[in-house]
Structure 1
């Protein structure tokens, strides 16, 4: 099948894509064979390019909408994916803007004890409710005093709270800050995270370029099916 050979995939894969609605249904010949046209070829090119840029789930959503003629839904899915890429870039910017704080030595707590929520709130000039909000967002993870049940903030918690305060003053959203903290923990500390920033930005650039390529193929499919 020429349609499959162009992309190095199997004929069954093409039939599966037709079944899943990401390319149009093919007309059948009297003998029962599928008759694919340039419209199907354009749809397959668009779908595979969209997978590279947006991932399987979003690519499927875009192409199913395009195939059924719902252009608004297709473009909305494209817009949503681009917005996610922008949020990922903003998160990376947040990490890069504060990597010096992350790699600095933790700010020491008062000798002999961690800080309570009131102590830390006073230190930062925020309310205890703000610290609890940061905790609910997954940014802070203080220990608890088993007897009294109160939150106890050690040196790392204090550093994370000061970093969060810095980012909030810079206008960053809590979801971005929470992602920064998850990246630090997943990288097993700020040092490995700092070393991974270049690779992280390269991945975002690759994804953005793939989205541009996919946009061209999607436009080609829409032109092939237009009036």
Structure 2
């Protein structure tokens, strides 16, 4: 584990530039490198394991979370690192559950009016809270034609009914899947008018593939992170 490696040695394995490797060290994603008397960085197999772990984590969890995990490990806060990993798995599970719920509902989407829940219509804030987004996001979805709320005749305020809640939940799922607002508006409009669910079904299949890929990436990242932790002991 103590063999000396140059920045170029680490970079070559992943097709990176040596500057990228130095930047990762600077940002705390790799442990600090020792220096030769002339000031050159000296990396080891521990650094190589750290770089493999970081890049695998980026693929599985995204750059910000991957960086947080590596910062935590490199500052000996393993519990924090594991908490971030757990949160990523929790989000994946929630996405799977939401996807399965939407898929199960495709064959029985109501035509015409959707029965209102006991609580009645919702405001912008109430809908945002239910879906787990900001009120600004709800307004952006409305501007994109994804949501078409009614207006309260007395106050002029937007009121969101059961069908709007359904459309917002579908929009949230598809947005997390990387779909642009224009595409989401098309899918939701088809559901809203009950004119067909083929586009929705295709979108869900694509999202299923992405969830599977993310799950597999998490398995690989866990192995790489485990190897890095072992190399530090």
> In the alignment, does 2:206 pair up with 1:212?
no
Quick one: distance in 2 between partners of 1:183 and 1:16? 34
1:126/1:23 CA distance change after superposition, 3 Å: same
What residue number does 2:63 align with?
56
Give CA deviations for 1:104-136 in whole Å, capped at 9, x if unaligned: 5323xxxxxxxxxxxx8xx646143xx326972
Instruction: Specify the structure having the higher radius of gyration (Cα).
Output: 1
> In the alignment, does 2:75 pair up with 1:68?
yes
What secondary structure is seen at the aligned counterpart in 2 of 1:188?
Answer: helix
Structure 2 residues without counterparts, runs of 5 or longer: 1-7, 132-146, 175-180, 192-196
Aligned counterpart in structure 1 of residue 112 of structure 2, from 99, 103, 106 = 106
Quick one: distance in 1 between partners of 2:81 and 2:44? 22
Question: Contact between 1:106 and 1:158, CA under 8 Å: does it hold in 2?
Answer: no
Bigger relative contact order, structure 1 or 2 (CA pairs below 8 A, ≥6 apart): 1
Aligned counterpart in structure 1 of residue 163 of structure 2, from 160, 173, 176 = 160
RMSD across aligned positions (CA): 2.8
Quick one: distance in 2 between partners of 1:158 and 1:29? 67
Question: Contact between 1:135 and 1:141, CA under 8 Å: does it hold in 2?
Answer: no
Quick one: distance in 2 between partners of 1:55 and 1:152? 35
1:220/1:152 CA distance change after superposition, 3 Å: closer
1:183/1:125 CA distance change after superposition, 3 Å: closer
1:142 to partner: Cα distance: 2.8
TM-score (norm 1): 0.74
TM-score (norm 2): 0.73
Aligned counterpart in structure 1 of residue 122 of structure 2, from 129, 132, 144 = 132
What residue number does 1:203 align with?
210
> In the alignment, does 2:155 pair up with 1:149?
yes
1:98 to partner: Cα distance: 1.0
Question: Contact between 2:149 and 2:161, CA under 8 Å: does it hold in 1?
Answer: no
1:213/1:187 CA distance change after superposition, 3 Å: farther
> In the alignment, does 2:89 pair up with 1:82?
yes
Quick one: distance in 2 between partners of 1:152 and 1:133? 6
Question: Contact between 1:21 and 1:64, CA under 8 Å: does it hold in 2?
Answer: yes
Structure 1 residues without counterparts, runs of 5 or longer: 108-119, 165-176
